[in-house]
Structures are given as structure tokens and as C-alpha cells.
Structure 1
Amino acid sequence: MTRFPMTVAGEKRLREELEDLKTVQRPRVIEAIAEARAHGDLKENAEYHAAREQQGFIEGRIQELEGKLSTSQVIDITAIPKTGKVIFGTTIDLINLDTDAEVRYQIVGDDEADIKAGKISVSSPIARALIGKEEGDVVVVITPGGDVEYEIDQVHHI
């Protein structure tokens, strides 16, 4: 079975969402279905159909989260010795050598990736180019718009 890397914070967020779905959202939808059934004819009852659709979404999301959590490999970056190398979970300050623009990314699991928050997937082209490199190294990232060169300014093991 393939294990998918995930940070401790990512696992916590998924577990909290799963708990909310099971203890808050699911009972609320079950109550809404029961209330809609009490109104009579289910064939033309829009409230009933909307609640059933919501229930299907919730149950699907619960299964998805349980599957992700069962195949996850939680990596606690704070327990890994600091080597100065780029590894899963590290935060990297990069300098684009063409534009001198500075960016900061944290390498996280696929489900945690959020480019606006500076979190990139471990399977993204830039993360794959960075893994194993050290401060001062220059990496070439192959993008659809062409090759981009970055210098690794700092590696943070936060």
C-alpha cells in the first residue's frame, strides 16, 4: 500500500474536519431529512431532496477523509535532525535569479498544498527540484512557461 506524506498540522486539520462531519454535520442533515419527511409527499419536496443530496456529500467526504488518514504517513519535522537540506516539511526561502523576486514555500503533502499560503505539494515540480538540495544551491525548475532558476537562500526546519 502506498503511503502519502502529511505534516502533523495537516493530519490535525483533516481529523478536525472528520470529527465535525461526524458529530455536527451528519446529525444536522439527518434531522433535516426527518423534518422534511414529516411534511408529507417526498416526490415534490425540495427540502427533502436537498437534505438527501447534502447527506450524500457528507458521507462521501467522510469516506474520503477516512481513506486519506488511513493511508497517510505523518511526518513530524520537529523530530528530524536539522541538516540544512531541503526535505519534506521544511520551509525554503528562494530567490528567482531572473527577477530577483524572493518567495517562501513550505513543502507539504498533496492534500495540504495551498499556493496562496505558501504551501506547495511534495509532488509539485518545484518541490521535486528542491528536495535534497542545500542553502546556496541553484536549482532549475522546469515549468510550462520555461525553465526558472532559483537560488536557495535559507532552509527553515520549523
Structure 2
Amino acid sequence: KIARAREHGDLKENGDYHAAKDEHGHMEGRIRQLESILENVEIVEPPTDGTVGFGTIVTVLYDGDDPSMAESYLIGHIEEKCENAEVMSPTSPLGAALLGAKKNDLVTYAAPNGNLKVKIVETRQQ
């Protein structure tokens, strides 16, 4: 894109050129971010005993909510994808509180507006 945009003449007023340079810069930054992730990755086996850990999909129900309002989260890195659950960082307040818990446990965590309680409805592996 940059080479094609250069062909359009004066670079000072060439919007395509500047847009291509910006896009190139964003891609270079993303590449560095992914390289850093790959350099620091640690393979962790998900727990098989029903406890919540990395790679666990956990369904929780907030204290006082109707059972139909249960929410599912994949405990893992934000780069992970899960079709039926949002990704929850294990370092977030809720993610950290869920680690090591099991089905039917009631877990409390600190939220900006005070402590919240969730009940673990289900755990499963992705």
C-alpha cells in the first residue's frame, strides 16, 4: 500500500500514503505485541478435577439474580477465543476469585461499588 501511495506524487499532501504509513505502524506494533506474548507463553494444562483454572469455562450466577441470567466466562488470556463465553482474565478481580473454586461454591470479590457474590453453576473445559 505504501509503495502504491508513493506513486501518487507529493508525499506531503498524499492522504493515501499517510494512511498506509499509519496502518503499517499499527501492524508493526501488533506484531511486536504478539511476539512478546509468544516469547512469554507458558503452556498450562487445565484442571481435570472440576476446579476453576486456566482454560476452564465457568458459568456463574450473581447473588440474587434469576437463574436465566447466568453468565459464562473462559478463564484465560484476552487473546483466546471462545464461542459461547466471554474471556475473563485470571488477574481480574472476579477471575482471581474464581480460581480454585468448584461447582456450587459461593465466591465473593471486590468490585468498584462494593463486594459482589457469585455462585458457580457449572465448570467445563473448552
TM-score by length of 1: 0.67
Residue ranges of structure 2 left out of the alignment (5+ in a row): none
Q: Which amino acid aligns with 1:37?
A: R
Equivalent residue number for residue 15 of structure 2:
46
- Write out aligned runs for 1:49-88 (5 A): 49-77=18-46, 80=47, 82-88=48-54
Q: After TM superposition, where is structure 1 displaced by more than 4 Å over at least 4 residues in a row?
A: none
- Write out aligned runs for 1:26-45 (5 A): 32-45=1-14
Judge conservation of contact 2:108–2:117 (CA < 8 Å) in 1. yes
Confirm or deny that 1:157 pairs with 2:125: yes
Equivalent residue number for residue 142 of structure 1:
110
How far the C-alpha of 1:36 sits from its partner, in A, is 2.3
Confirm or deny that 1:118 pairs with 2:111: no
> Could you tell me how far apart the structure 2 residues matched to 1:36 and 1:90 are?
47
Residue by residue, what CA displacement relative to the aligned partner does 1:85-133 show, whole Å, maximum 9, x if unpaired? 111111112222222342222111144489x942211111111111111
> Could you tell me how far apart the structure 2 residues matched to 1:99 and 1:34 are?
57
> Could you tell me how far apart the structure 1 residues matched to 2:21 and 2:86 are?
37
> Could you tell me how far apart the structure 2 residues matched to 1:120 and 1:113 are?
11
TM-score by length of 2: 0.81
Residue by residue, what CA displacement relative to the aligned partner does 1:32-52 show, whole Å, maximum 9, x if unpaired? 222222233222222222222
For the residue of structure 1 that corresponds to 2:17, the secondary structure is helix
Judge conservation of contact 1:112–1:121 (CA < 8 Å) in 2. no
